[in-house]
Amino acid sequence: MTQLAVIGGGSMGAQIAQQAALHGVDVTLQDKDASQLQKARDSNRGHLARRVEKGRLSPANAEAALDRVRTTTDLADAARDAEFVIEAVFEDLQVKRSIFQELHFFFPVLVMDLVEIVRGPKTSDETVERAIALSREMARTPVLLNKEIDGFIVNRILHAATQEAYRLLDAGVASFEDIDLAVEKGLNWPMGPFRLGDFSGLDVTYNARLHMYRTTGDERYKPSPQLEAKVKAGKLGRKSGEGWYRYGGDIQE
């Protein structure tokens, strides 16, 4: 793989582009918002600078990785010479229908090792093999789903656990802080469900749950009223400075 297009310049898209570039792939990162592309470049530069400071990456390799990522607001331009296209747009069904590829990285891409590859009803063996090869080329571990299913593997399991955490909160059984603490210490999760929601973005969590609920009609997936209230109030987690927890810079308050 020598030329990759990543559609969507948010945190996920920016990190996918960076991970590919670190492994020698030329990337075109596309977003319709030019300011979002600048944020992506600034974010990637910061990530790479921290790796250099920690001795994990040479300055020359960091600059080379940055140089391998080209940005554009033109979708046709991004896809023109691409051997493979990955969509990394936000969780909106209509947007995803217009830009679609069943290759699902996990956020943060620079930390999480797993990639879920989903075979659609018309996906060729060649496409599956290329998706698996690209994941490995980017130093990630692929798993293959033989058919499409909402939530794939990890998020279906995660949603079940997280939904139970919301039920406990809504029923007044325990505070969100104590639920997080119980999960972190009792199940050895690096983050409890509420802290993880803040990290991922509560709007992302809400939209994913709402989609599952509307798709299945299953009440188990209906978003928690408390989660909905957070999103409507603009308290989206770390990116907005407050979610379930409050944040000041990089420090949780």
Per the structure, the complete domain to which residue 108 belongs is given by: 3-145
Q: Which segments in the chain show pLDDT lower than 70?
A: 1, 90-111, 249-253
pTM, two decimals, is: 0.64
Q: Which of 117, 145, 173 is the last residue of a domain?
A: 145
Judged by DSSP in three states, 191 sits in: coil
Domain-located, residue 250: no
Q: Tell me, what's the pLDDT at 108?
A: 59
190 and 130 part of one domain: no
On whether both 61 and 179 belong to a single domain, the answer is: no
Does the residue 166 lie in any domain?
yes
**What pLDDT sits at residue 212?**
81
pLDDT of residue 78: 87
Residue 231 sits in a domain of what CATH number? 1.10.1040.10
Q: Assess whether 40 and 128 both reside in one domain.
A: yes
Note the pLDDT of residue 88: 80
Backbone angles phi, psi at 96, to 5 degrees: -65, -30
Q: Judge if 229 and 182 occupy the same domain.
A: yes
- Which conformational region is residue 201 in: left (phi greater than 0), alpha (psi within -120 to 50 degrees), or beta? left
Among the three residues 111, 145, 179, which one is the final residue of a domain in this structure?
Answer: 145
Helix count (H) and strand count (E) of the chain?
11, 9
State the pLDDT at residue 103.
44
Q: In a 10 Å sphere around its CB, with 0-12 CB exposed, 13-18 middle and 19+ buried, how is residue 111 labelled?
A: exposed
